Amino acid sequence: MSQTLRVLCFESRKGDEMRSLIERSGGCATIAPAMKEVPLGMTDEIREFYERLRAETLDLLIFLTGVGTESLANAIATVHSREQFLDLMQQCKIVVRGPKPFAVLRKWNVRIDARAAEPNTWHEVVKSVLEVVDSEARAENDTSTQSPRNPRLQGFRIAVQEYGQPSSELYSELHHLGAEVLPVPVYKWALPDDTSPIEAAIAATIRSEVDVVLFTTAQHMVHVLEIAEQLGRKEEWLASARRCVIASIGPTASERIVECGLPVDFEPTHPHMGHLVRESLLAAPQLLESCRAR
């Protein structure tokens, strides 16, 4: 009989769902929440965003996360009506990064002009923005004798709902293409109030009691290393984690994991938690021997 895989995951908001997925896939789950999302409320940046919507000085809105979309609307609703905000949004083109902001806006019956394809990185977001702008340029060209607007974003005024930290690569590319970018931070990432589960998970990894480590977001890696460093065990944890199968939900998380010093052994076919758990646990027995030898 094959040995039950011991699976560590740092998911916070959907920790119970991850535990269930891991156990249904035959693994023994350890969930150590490594992050909390702290709404910022009605900030000066959100006030500027709303006033620019009202003044019609924004052309395109980018929503990167479902939680962020909800947080932005909730912050604005402390001062203005939700209905008025949604009406103002409809004056702009709207691009969403993936299924979660898409679901939130559809729930509110907001028109969506483009949805970035998987794996939902900033590259796909930029591609969707360009598709929307190209479509508008073609429409203008069909109905006007004047030259169409430059499809390379020259002069476009774009607001971006941030999540946790600035999306620097996205902003850099949009600026390069000629756009004016208005970042709209709506929440920040912080360590959970109780870090003892992370501390216990770090110790368990060092004791070789973990076979597979699942990362559902890049920020989990940052926070785990922060706690490990506070414990004086950062290098020890990294060395032990390298002997586990490291599974990442997608390219954005993988890039950060590698930057922080771990290899990435597995990415799922689709950047969703269900695919991550099922596919990584299926592949792990074949990967584990080589990982242990690192």
166 with 142: CB under 8 angstroms? no
Cα–Cα distance between 33 and 84 in angstroms, integer?
Answer: 37
Weakly modelled stretches of the chain, pLDDT under 70: 1-2, 139-151
User: What sign results for the dihedral spanned by CA atoms 194, 195, 196, 197?
Assistant: positive
* Lookup: tokens for 227: 């706690």
Looking at residue 140, its pLDDT comes to 66
pLDDT in tens, 276-293: 999 999 999 999 999 999
Q: Phi and psi at residue 267, in whole multiples of 5°?
A: -125, 140
Instruction: Please name which of 256, 274, 180, 272 lies closest in space to residue 219, comparing C-alpha atoms.
Output: 256
125 with 95: CB under 8 angstroms? yes
Instruction: Please name which of 35, 107, 7, 21 lies closest in space to residue 66, comparing C-alpha atoms.
Output: 107
Pair 23, 119 in one domain? no
Residue at 1 is within a domain: no
213 with 247: CB under 8 angstroms? yes
Pair 11, 64 in one domain? no
Residue at 273 is within a domain: yes
pLDDT in tens, 87-99: 999 999 999 998 9
Pair 181, 201 in one domain? no
Pair 50, 161 in one domain? yes
Pair 44, 104 in one domain? yes
β-sheet bridge partners, residue 58: none
* Lookup: tokens for 60: 């395109």
Residue at 113 is within a domain: yes
> The domain that contains 100 carries what CATH number?
3.40.50.10090
Looking at residue 135, its pLDDT comes to 84
Pair 69, 31 in one domain? no
Pair 55, 110 in one domain? yes
Residue at 43 is within a domain: yes
The contacts found for 234-239 with CB under 8 angstroms, 24 or more apart, are 236/206, 237/202, 237/205, 237/206, 238/262
Looking at residue 148, its pLDDT comes to 44
* Lookup: tokens for 201: 């998970």
Overall domain count for the chain: 2
Please give the order of strands across the beta sheet that includes 212-215.
28-31, 6-9, 212-215, 245-248
Domain boundary among 171, 189, 207: 189
User: What sign results for the dihedral spanned by CA atoms 209, 215, 218, 223?
Assistant: negative
Looking at residue 133, its pLDDT comes to 92
Pair 178, 63 in one domain? yes
Domain boundary among 152, 167, 189: 189
Pair 21, 58 in one domain? no
Domain boundary among 122, 157, 189: 189
Place of tokens 């758990």: 277
**How would you class 289 by CB atoms within 10 Å of its CB: exposed for 0-12, middle for 13-18, buried for 19 or more?**
exposed
Pair 66, 177 in one domain? yes
Pair 119, 91 in one domain? yes
Q: Write out the residue range of the structural domain in which residue 160 sits.
A: 38-189
Pair 154, 68 in one domain? yes
Residue at 142 is within a domain: yes
β-sheet bridge partners, residue 182: 159
